[in-house]
């Protein structure tokens, strides 16, 4: 498949231009014109690029890219990352907020699907719009059941701050660094809020709000979207793909 055709399809499917995002979403580094094999990863890092090269990836899609709204000199780690991509001919495509918010393959939508949530409604972010979701479990479940389910999905146990009821029905989800939205989730009726990265500044909030919070880890909470997008691309275009795992433990 031709790179430019794939980029056009991704830009339209993910609605890249619809988000005010500090990330430079879209094709960040141009490589080979023909795409034979996809790679997906959470982070654009040198170790990931080396894994992509070893796996003979032509087109790499990451959730976190190389550019975040500031001009960067091509020195140090930034120089090494760009050099690795340019020497290998790997295309780098990044989708940050578009891959959090997408209703089919977004991080939050996929977590909601795996939990079986229904009656989905947006959980709006004050700066970035509707990127999270609120939904209802098919039946009330205990925190222990949900903790085990999420551990099975991510491979690591969530950090649990149990400030709410033992059994929950309404759940809010914002992947990544979503601790600041827990009060909004509680205001929308959630008894459990699922996010990625724990925040010292928000440690006391769950207990004072009467809300349960599960922290999956920033990295683990954002593996869902890139994998779902790769599956969608494979179904659409028949492209083989590989998930380039490089967990941060955070």
CA distances from 197 to 20, 84, 101, 248 (A): 22, 29, 17, 11
* pLDDT digit string, tens, across residues 38-57: 999 999 999 999 999 999 99
Dihedral angle of Cα 164, 154, 236, 57, to the nearest 10 degrees: 140
* pLDDT digit string, tens, across residues 203-232: 999 999 999 999 999 999 999 999 999 999
Residue 20 has pLDDT above 90, yes or no: no
> pTM (2 decimals)?
0.96
**pLDDT the model gives residue 160:** 98
Domains 3-96+223-243 and 101-221 fall in the same CATH topology: yes
Q: Give the count of beta carbons closer than 10 Å to the beta carbon of residue 115.
A: 21
Per-residue DSSP letter, 22 = S
**pLDDT the model gives residue 125:** 82
* pLDDT digit string, tens, across residues 101-155: 999 999 999 999 999 999 999 998 878 888 999 999 999 999 999 999 999 999 9
**pLDDT the model gives residue 124:** 86
The CATH code that applies to domain 3-96+223-243 is 3.40.1390.30
Q: Give the count of beta carbons closer than 10 Å to the beta carbon of residue 235.
A: 9
Domain boundaries, the chain: 3-96+223-243, 101-221
Token pair belonging to 62: 């990451």
| Cβ(82)–Cβ(74) below 8 Å | yes
Q: Could you identify the residue written with the tokens 């995002």?
A: 21
**pLDDT the model gives residue 164:** 98
Residue 2 burial (10 A CB sphere; 0-12, 13-18, 19+):
exposed
CATH of 101-221, one of 3.40.1390.30, 3.40.50.2000, 3.30.930.10, 3.40.50.150: 3.40.1390.30
């Amino acid at each position: 498949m031709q790179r430019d055709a794939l980029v056009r399809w991704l830009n339209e499917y993910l609605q890249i231009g619809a988000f005010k995002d500090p990330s430079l979403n879209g094709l960040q580094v141009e490589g080979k014109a023909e795409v034979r094999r996809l790679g997906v990863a959470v982070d654009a890092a040198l170790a990931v690029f080396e894994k992509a090269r070893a796996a003979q990836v032509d087109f790499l899609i990451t959730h976190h890219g190389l550019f975040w709204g500031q001009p960067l000199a091509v020195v140090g780690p930034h120089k090494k990352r760009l050099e690795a991509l340019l020497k290998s001919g790997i295309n780098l495509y990044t989708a940050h907020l578009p891959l959090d918010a997408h209703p089919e393959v977004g991080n939050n939508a996929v977590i909601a699907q795996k939990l079986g949530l229904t009656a989905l409604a947006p959980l709006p972010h004050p700066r970035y719009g509707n990127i999270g979701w609120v939904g209802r479990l098919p039946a009330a479940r205990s925190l222990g059941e949900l903790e085990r389910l999420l551990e099975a999905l991510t491979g690591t146990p969530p950090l649990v701050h149990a400030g709410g009821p033992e059994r929950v029905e309404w759940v809010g989800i914002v992947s990544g660094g979503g601790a600041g939205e827990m009060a909004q989730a509680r205001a929308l009726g959630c008894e459990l809020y699922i996010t990625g990265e724990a925040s010292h500044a928000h440690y006391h909030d769950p207990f004072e709000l009467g809300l349960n919070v599960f922290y999956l880890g920033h990295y683990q909470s954002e593996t869902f979207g890139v994998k779902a997008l790769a599956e969608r691309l494979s179904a659409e275009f028949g492209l083989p793909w590989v998930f380039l795992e490089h967990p941060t433990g955070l």
